[in-house]
Structure 1
Amino acid sequence: MNLRGLVSVTGKPGLFKLIGQNKGGFVLESLDAAKVKSVVNLSTTKMATLEDITIYGEDDEIRLMDVLETIKTNGGNTPDPKADGDTLRNFFREVAPNHDESRVYTSDIKKIISWYNIIKELPLFDEEAPEPIA
């Protein structure tokens, strides 16, 4: 799976693709149907790449990439992100069985399901992640 270049921006819904950099900051393109381009200044905005995001686990942290891959492997069926908390929690127990239930909130689960629904149509699951630069 290749999530390189996909980012979440604090305070902005959805996901973005990092497409460049200029004097003002990073140039992003939304992954929704609008394909809106915007510039984010890192001194005022926090950004996280999906490949770097982890989820609290009972023993070790769980990589978001692994959770997304498990969702796809299990058929890609997700509950509605607006479903009740019990439904979301039961789903997440299946795809991330060792997550720390006291530190992973329902809002986190909703966000992960929404992110999966955004990227599931993209060819990301079929692409290999590039090798890290040493």
Structure 2
Amino acid sequence: MSLEKVLSISGKPGLYKLTTQTRSGFLAESLLDGKRINVSARHNVSLLSEIAIYTLTEEVPLRAVFEKIAKKEDGKATISHKVSKIELEEYFFGILPDYDEERVYASDIKKVVQWYNLLVKNDLTDFSEAEEAVEEEVKDKLTTPQRDAITGVSKTTSPKGGGKSSSKKGGTAKSTAARKK
């Protein structure tokens, strides 16, 4: 199985394998404990094949990062995601020397290492490019809001708090003008 059928679900630990479609969403099986959950449109779902890591020059697909880790580790598990921040950053620098240190946080690196180890543990080490037919099949199983969330929003790691509004406290200009009267 390739990364096109592996999901990350916001608010849920670990990774999930897409199994079947339901009326209200789809069923996913946890790679941590094998439990199945129903995933609805209200969940923020990311396909691992759609995630990328910022570098100083481009965005590198997560699959390419996993391939580099697998090559370095000969396809075996890597360091624990529970090691110190410094160790994680040093390890990741060895894998991807030009990663953008301002936009890729230690928590992102921790997640990548944890995901890689989880994929190796479950023998899901096919990090090659998948055929478009498989990717389209997976996207067809998702409901329209889920598909839109996956394809419409960039899944790259971004600065924390990057979506904050720059408006001043006190609401809109209209309410501010009304208070001045």
Pair 1:20–1:54, CA change in 2 (3 A): same
SS in 1 for 2:14: coil
The counterpart of 2:69, out of the listed 71, 74, 77, is: 71
Quick one: which amino acid aligns to residue 120 of structure 2? K
SS in 1 for 2:68: helix
Identity level (%): 36
Q: In structure 1, what is the Cα distance between the partners aligned to 2:39 and 2:63?
A: 24
User: Which residue is equivalent to 2:16?
Assistant: 16
Offset of residue 121 of structure 1: 3.2
Superposed CA RMSD? 1.9
TM superposition score normalised by structure 2: 0.67
Unaligned runs of 5+ in 2: 137-181
What does 1:89-104 correspond to in 2, within 5 Å? 89-104=89-104
Quick one: which amino acid aligns to residue 38 of structure 2? V
Quick one: which amino acid aligns to residue 57 of structure 1? T
Kindly provide the CA deviation profile for residues 72-122 of structure 1, in whole angstroms up to 9, marking residues without a partner as x. Answer: 100145222121111100100111122100110000111111101111134
Q: In structure 2, what is the Cα distance between the partners aligned to 1:93 and 1:115?
A: 17
- The question of 1:59 aligning with 2:61 is answered no
Query: Whose Rg is larger?
Result: 2
SS in 2 for 1:124: coil
Report if the CA contact (8 A) 1:20-1:28 is conserved: yes
More helix by share: 2
User: Which residue is equivalent to 1:36?
Assistant: 35
